Amino acid sequence: MEGIIIKGIAGFYYVKTEDGVLECKARGIFRKMNLTPMVGDRVSVVTNVQGNTIDKIHERSSELVRPFVANVSQAYVVFALRNPDINFDLLNKFIVSLEKNGITPVLVFNKCDLAKEGEEQSLKGIFIGTGYELYFIQAKTGVGLEPLFEKLKENITVLCGPSGSGKSTLLNKLSGKEQMETGEISKRLNRGKHTTRHSELIVVNDSFLVDTPGFSTMEFTMEPEELKDYFPEFHEYEGECRFNGCNHNKEPECRVKQEVGHTISKIRYDFYTKYYQELIEEKKNKW
Ligand code: ZN
């Protein structure tokens, strides 16, 4: 039987299948293969007299370290429009780390009641050419949440964003139904905020939400030359610059640079050059 691991406790894994949630053990051979089943893993389960055993772990599309979850396919990147103001460097760093992990960012701007005139348009302008979807919501009252419920479908979704952005409020809204249905989860949420524990998946209809908001942006090393790959608005111009392997920085006749202010926003490009420089410095200091 096929399923998805939604939680793991003390050597037992709980696998959501068509027939409900099964308590499973993992095959001993996984340890020899240095393979640890992760929450989010798609697995095959075999059942015999000894119980249920995870027999096979399917190939992962992504692996996050914190939270420790496999196969996350999208992230709701939650930033408040005001209180606090949007920190674009941080927002762009979140986006880069998601892109590096093969996870689609969905940009969610909270406290939309505090938007200034024309602000939605100017935000859309900043992410021109990226293909990212932008949503404007008020998590507290539930305004604008419908498409976010829709988008959960068939995904494993994680929420991330700075503190004060309202990501926890949004997580509670999106998962609220399930928490009421299973008393167990609500009990667990009341257990106190300071206990460290593994992440679990909350089942919402046929989709999955990582139960802990948050996502660390700093847990990887990256070559400076790699950075451009994580700016989807540059991809269209790949190969059109004068120099092969152009890093769209100080090279002359750079097609990407020519597009800044047109199909590529200045805020995003400036962040790119700044981050590129940071990565070069980091690399120098390492040696
Ligand atoms: Zn270039």
Pairwise CA distance, residues 79 & 107, whole Å: 8
Q: Would you say residue 7 lies in a domain? A: yes
Residues 68 and 95 in one domain: yes
* Number of domains within the chain: 3
Cα of 237 vs centre of ligand 1, distance in Å, is 8
Q: How far is the CA of 243 from the centre of ligand 1 (A)?
A: 7
Cα(202) to centroid(ligand 1), Å: 43
pLDDT along the chain (287 residues), means of 10: 94 94 94 93 95 96 89 96 94 94 96 95 97 97 96 95 91 72 46 59 91 70 94 97 96 97 97 96 86
Residue 219 belongs to a domain: no
Q: Residue 169 Cα, ligand 1 centroid: separation in angstroms?
A: 41
Q: What is the pTM of this model?
A: 0.89
Residue 42 makes CB contacts below 8 A (sequence gap 6+) with 2, 3, 4, 57, 58, 71
Q: Which of 25, 41, 57 is the last residue of a domain?
A: 57
Shared-domain flag, residues 69 and 199 = yes
Same domain, 255 and 139: no
HSE-up of residue 109 (Cα within 13 Å, Cβ side): 23
Q: What's the gap in Å between 221 CA and the centre of ligand 1?
A: 23
Residues 71 and 196 occupy one common structural domain: yes
In a domain, 164, yes or no: yes
Q: β-strands 156-160, 207-210: how paired? A: parallel
What's at 57, amino acid-wise? I
204 lies in a domain? yes
145 and 240 share a domain? no
Provide the pLDDT for residue 77.
97
Q: How far apart are the CA of 263 and the centre of ligand 1, in A?
A: 14
Maximum Cα interatomic distance, the chain, rounded to a whole number of Å: 70
CA of 3 to the centre of ligand 1 (A): 45
Find the 253 Cα to ligand 1 centroid distance in Å: 7
Q: How far, in Å, is the centroid of ligand 1 from the Cα of 277?
A: 15
Measured in Å, residue 254 CA sits from the centre of ligand 1 at: 4
Identify the sign of the CA torsion 52, 56, 61, 66: positive
Query: Is the backbone peptide bond immediately before 84 cis, with ω within 30 degrees of 0?
Result: yes
The predicted pLDDT at position 186 comes to 45
pLDDT value of position 192 = 46
- Determine contact, residues 220/100, Cβ cutoff 8 Å: yes
**CA of 233 relative to ligand 1 center, distance in Å:** 12
Of 39, 57, 75, the residue that ends a domain is 57
Ligand 1 centroid to residue 116 C-alpha, Å:
35
Instruction: State in Å: Cα 82 to ligand 1 middle.
Output: 35
**Domain annotation covers residue 215:** no
What is the per-residue pLDDT for 183?
41
Q: How far is the CA of 128 from the centre of ligand 1 (A)?
A: 18
Indicate if 53 and 67 belong to the same structural domain: no
Give distance in angstroms: CA of 278 to centre of ligand 1.
18
Q: Ligand 1 centre from 276 Cα, in Å? A: 13
CATH number, domain of 185, equals 3.40.50.300
CA of 246 to the centre of ligand 1 (A): 4
Which pLDDT score, from 0 to 100, does residue 188 have?
A: 53
CA–centroid distance, residue 67 to ligand 1 (Å): 35
Q: E strands, 69-132, where?
A: 74-80, 104-110
Domain residues for the domain of 280 are 224-286
Q: What is the Å distance from ligand 1's center to 112 Cα?
A: 36
Q: Check which CATH number belongs to the domain holding 43 and give it.
A: 2.40.50.140
- 280 in the same domain as 235: yes
Ligand 1 center to 259 CA (angstroms): 10
Q: What is the DSSP string of 21-65?
A: EEEEEEPTHHHHTT----BT-EEEEEEETTEEEEEEEPPPS-B-S
Q: 249 CA distance to ligand 1 centroid (A)?
A: 7
